[in-house]
Chains A and B, each alone.
Chain A
Amino acid sequence: MSKTFTLDGKTIPFKDGQTIIQAALDAGYYIPHLCHHPEFKPHGSCKLCTVVVSGHQTASCTLQPAEGMVVESETEQLNAERRALTQMLFVEGNHFCPSCEKSGDCQLQATAYHLGMMTTHYDHFFPNRPLDASHDDYLLDLNRCILCSLCVRASRDVDGKNVFALAGRGAQTHLIVNARSGRLADTDFSATDKAAHVCPVGVILPKKRGFAVPIGERTFDKQPIDAYVDSRLARKES
């Protein structure tokens, strides 16, 4: 008999070593998340996957379940807090969906749809962030960075290159490129790197290809994000 916990009343089986979100996604149950990626170690920074366990809020991407644990996720209170976090991510950067190549394929946008975000609510920072188009194949638009660190983890743990890092602290935290010049062209970053393919938003984008799939026919135009559970998970035969 495998061990189980309950998530919003649904019985979820889990293996030792799995986190709550890993077991939930494996069981086909969506918990909103941005910095979590099924193939990577937890980072625990975005807090979108916060759930309530025994009356306490905790990130479901870092907590391992215990037998019989009772977990709540789809509550009005939690989704209101997730919506506020998402609104803060929108106002802290420059997220202009109509002119973004990632629109329709963007995890941030799709999560905001799921949470029914109708307005950014807070005052916009309108930060002045650089765009790095130095590399032949890829461009970096840091206006859209949500500091999920997926490119950092992919480059370090999979590609073995350490092309990206998060620098600064608190509100000054920002993504940097590991080169003396700070330019992507001066690193060994390549289009075949895992780091080139994990950005959940529109920061790391391939050049020389735009709007190959029209707006309206993209990943999250077809189905809402919760219907995929995680669009990056290998599709299971049902």
Chain B
Amino acid sequence: MAQEKLKIATVSLAGCFGCHMSFLDIDERLFELIEHVEFDRSPLTDIKEIGQCSIGLIEGGLCNAENVHVLRNFRRHCKVLVAVGACAINGGLPAQRNPIPLAAILEEVYHTNPGLHNGVIPNDPELPLPLNKVHPIHEVVTVDYFIPGCPPSADTIWEVLTALLAGRQPVLGHALLHYD
């Protein structure tokens, strides 16, 4: 009987999906990967609810209440949680709003600037509430591994994934470790 495949879940929180695109840049190595793993909740499968997984890949930081909820749910369901990319690690581009008070940002976008939502700050209960500041994910849950980069290269992501699947510590040497 074939060995049961490990389950991987992925999500983009306050990110741009660039890290997911870079992940897809492993190209034909995807075929090798799916010999060993099965994708659970992920934009790649469109599965909405996460099941028990071995590895969770988190792209993006936390900019609203839903991000926090999804992150905590991933932590509960994944044995190993990996922060993928600059935004998950330090807030990245979305965190550029942090020095500006949230009220001032909403004011500028919806009241001062013309043409947006008829000058009313959206308040639908379906909309997740923005956090006061954008936070990296390690400030909210325990994170087991980090893959820096904006985005991390496909080779970098591949090194970490193959290391985890082989049960060894990932090693990112000079060629694979970049913050930009």
Contact = CB atoms under 8 A, between A and B. Distances in A.
B107 interface: no
A118 to B, nearest CB: 4
Contacts of B113: none
B51 interface: no
Interface stretch (A45-53, A123-131, A148-156, A175-183): A123-131
A99 B179 contact: no
Interface string A181-195: 000000000000000
B177 A113 contact: yes
A113 B156 CA distance: 14
Interface in B133-180: 133, 135-136, 138-139, 143, 145-148, 150, 172, 174, 177-180
A103 B150 CA distance: 12
A97 B89 contact: no
A207 to B, nearest CB: 20
A12 to B, nearest CB: 25
B73 interface: no
For chain B, the bracket of interface size reads: 20 to 34
A10 interface: no
Contact of A97 (B135, B136, B174, B180): B180
Q: Is the interface of A mostly helix, strand, loop or mixed?
A: loop
Nearest to B100: A128
Interface size range of chain A in the complex: 20 to 34
A215 B149 CA distance: 12
A216 to B, nearest CB: 8
Interface string A80-98: 0000000000100011111
B143 A119 contact: yes
Nearest to B143: A119
Interface stretch (B1-9, B26-34, B91-99): B91-99
B86 interface: yes
B177 A96 contact: no
B138 A104 contact: no
Contacts, number: 70
A224 B136 CA distance: 27
A221 B179 CA distance: 11
B99 A96 contact: no
A126 B83 CA distance: 19
A127 B99 CA distance: 7
Contacts of B89: 119-120
A109 interface: yes
A112 interface: yes
B179 A119 contact: no
A15 interface: no
Given A124-B91, A124-B135, A124-B136, A118 B96 contact: no
B90 interface: yes
A123 to B, nearest CB: 5
Interface of A: 90, 94-100, 103-104, 109, 112-113, 116, 118-121, 123-124, 126-129, 215, 221, 223-224
Given A119-B138, A124-B95, 18 more contacts: A95-B90, A96-B92, A97-B180, A103-B180, A109-B179, A112-B179, A113-B177, A113-B179, A116-B172, A118-B148, A118-B172, A118-B177, A119-B83, A120-B90, A120-B138, A124-B90, A124-B135, A126-B99
